[in-house]
Amino acid sequence: MKINLLFFFLSICGLTSAQNITANFTSDTVCLGDTTCFHDLSTSSNGTIVAWNWNFGDPSGINVSNLQNPCHRYSSAGAYTVTLTVTNSNSNQNTITHQIIINVLPIAAFLTSTVGDTTFFQAYWQTLGCSFFWDFGDSYTSTLQNPYHIYSTNGTYTVCFTVTTCNQGCQTTACQQANVTTGVINETRSSIINIFPNPFSTETTLQADNLFKNATLTIYNLYGQTVKQIDNLSGQTVTFYRDNLPSGLYFLRLTQDSKVIATDKLVITDN
Query: pTM for this one?
Result: 0.59
Domain locations in the chain?
18-103, 107-180, 193-268
Span 212-251, pLDDT tens digits: 999 999 998 876 788 999 999 999 999 999 999 998 888 8
Report the b/e string of 191-212 with b at 16+ CB within 10 A: bebebeeeebeeebebebeeeb
Q: What share of the chain is helix, strand, coil (3-state, %, to 5)?
A: 5, 55, 35
- Report domain 107-180's class: mainly beta
Span 99-133, pLDDT tens digits: 999 998 888 888 887 766 778 888 877 666 678 99
- The reply to whether 193-268 shares the fold of 18-103 is yes
Q: Which CATH superfamily is domain 18-103 in?
A: Immunoglobulins (2.60.40.10)
Length of the chain: 271
Instruction: Return the DSSP state at 60.
Output: T
Q: Which CATH architecture is the domain 193-268 placed in?
A: Sandwich (2.60)
Identify whether the C-beta of residue 13 lies closer than 8 Å to the C-beta of residue 4. Answer: no
CA 186 to chain centre: 36
The phi-psi region of residue 243 (left if phi > 0; otherwise alpha if psi is between -120 and 50; otherwise beta) is left
3-state secondary structure of 39: strand
